[in-house]
Amino acid sequence: MAVKDRLSGNEAVAYAMRQINPDVMPAYPITPSTEIPQYFTAFVANGQVDTEFIPVESEHSAMSACIGSEAAGARTITATSSCGLALMWEVLNVAASDRLPICLALVNRALSGPININCDHSDAMGARNTGWIQVFSENNQEAYDNMVQAYRIAEHPDVMLPIMICQDGFITSHAVENITLLEDEIVKDFVGEYNPEHYLLKDGESIAYGPYAVTNYVMEARRAQMQGLRNAKQVVLDVADEFARISGRQYGFFEEYKMEDADYAMVIIGSAAGTAKDTVDLLRKQGIKAGILKIRLFRPFPAEEIAEALKNVKYLAVMDRTEDFNTNCGPLGAEVKAALYNKGLHPYVLNYCYGLGGRDVTVNSLSSVFSDLMDIDRTGETGETYRYLSVRE
């Protein structure tokens, strides 16, 4: 039977980690992800898991230890945020290129500077091209469910890549919500045991990890790594279908909210999607055909499927909770516009930078985005296509 509880997002992720019972967890604390290893070490101390917890001296060391343990055949997990992820960046690429299915719970927080401990997506987006799978969560339930599914995706023999399970710092990580949990045995059976075909300490194994690659091999290695990401798309859907059978909760690449007849649509990631849905509900009561496309899977980016979901939209706002500093667009804006262009779709598109450093995202602020789209509908003029939301100019 399902277990009803009230948990913060960090508690929910740690709860899923306990049910998974990984072999090794190297970790170093950083706000707002500190609670995840804190809760998990209590499970270790109480004998509820047999995980080897390794307190390290930095986040770089944490990911380096993850690489070592995963290469040796141990299911490995860690957690971090913000500058902790930035300190890992050198070895994030190593983890992906070595095809090591490490799981990282990323609690999104603004990168410095200025120093800020609140939510935006600059940490995850800064690491978007390191070769990791990235899955985002709107709320605590999704953070738990995504963590339960993580290893089934990452460890699939057609994938074998590391995975980040992302949730918004403080907004979900520390907020307490009602949540439905699975029973321990159900999660254990769903995740299964990790039995890699090849690993460093396997008897008789002639394999090396992280070798120097001369010119003759680098491109082929990257191409093989890309194929793992491509394969991950179908695996994500297959795992989601199996998860739905044990939980009753269905996931995909994204969620479409009132998109079936939407003239005005918003593409968004993370916790602000809940506010966006409230905004759409309000607009629908006024007779305005508004809808939301909430991205769950950002890497690999499901471009063709997103273009198909948006093919009938006339006016579109793409919301980036990070600044890409290219003066043209944000990372999500670039991806969505490329996906539309490649399919010959040309709706009017506005790209917004919003919510940096924890700036509040409200129904009023998101309503103003839809008002901007309706202004374009009336005038035919887009004006500035890359805009800031709720900023003092």
Count up the domains in the chain and report the number: 2
Q: Give yes or no: residues 70 and 188 share one domain.
A: yes
- Token code pair at residue 362: 């409200």
- Looking at 228, 247, 266, which one is the last position of a domain? 247
Q: Give yes or no: residues 329 and 233 share one domain.
A: no
Banded pLDDT at 206 (limits 50, 70, 90): confident
Q: Please tell me whether the peptide bond between 114 and the residue prior to it is cis, using omega within 30 degrees of 0.
A: yes
Q: Which amino acid type is present at position 56?
A: V
What pLDDT score was predicted for residue 2? 85
Q: Give yes or no: residues 238 and 91 share one domain.
A: yes
pLDDT tens digits along 135-157: 999 999 999 999 999 999 999 99
pLDDT at 126 > cutoff 90: yes
pLDDT at 207 > cutoff 90: no
Tell if the pTM clears 0.85, that is, is over it. Answer: yes
What pLDDT score was predicted for residue 1? 67
Q: Give yes or no: residues 310 and 357 share one domain.
A: yes
Q: Give yes or no: residues 172 and 279 share one domain.
A: no
pLDDT tens digits along 371-389: 999 999 999 999 999 999 9
CATH number, position 164: 3.40.50.970
Q: Give yes or no: residues 139 and 258 share one domain.
A: no
Do the domain assignments include residue 393? no
- Looking at 247, 278, 293, which one is the last position of a domain? 247
Do the domain assignments include residue 328? yes
Q: Which amino acid type is present at position 242?
A: E
- Looking at 196, 214, 247, which one is the last position of a domain? 247
- Token code pair at residue 155: 């460890």
Three-state SS letters, 308-370: HHCCCCCEEEEEECCCCCCCCCCHHHHHHHHHHHHCCCCCEEEEEECCHHHCCCCHHHHHHHH
Mean pLDDT of 22-47: 98
What is the average pLDDT value for the chain, to the nearest integer?
A: 97
Do the domain assignments include residue 95? yes
Calculate helix-pair angle for 82-97, 59-71, nearest 10 degrees: 30
- Name the residue range of residue 165's domain: 3-247
Q: Give yes or no: residues 234 and 289 share one domain.
A: no
pLDDT tens digits along 286-337: 999 999 999 999 999 999 999 999 999 999 999 999 999 999 999 999 999 9
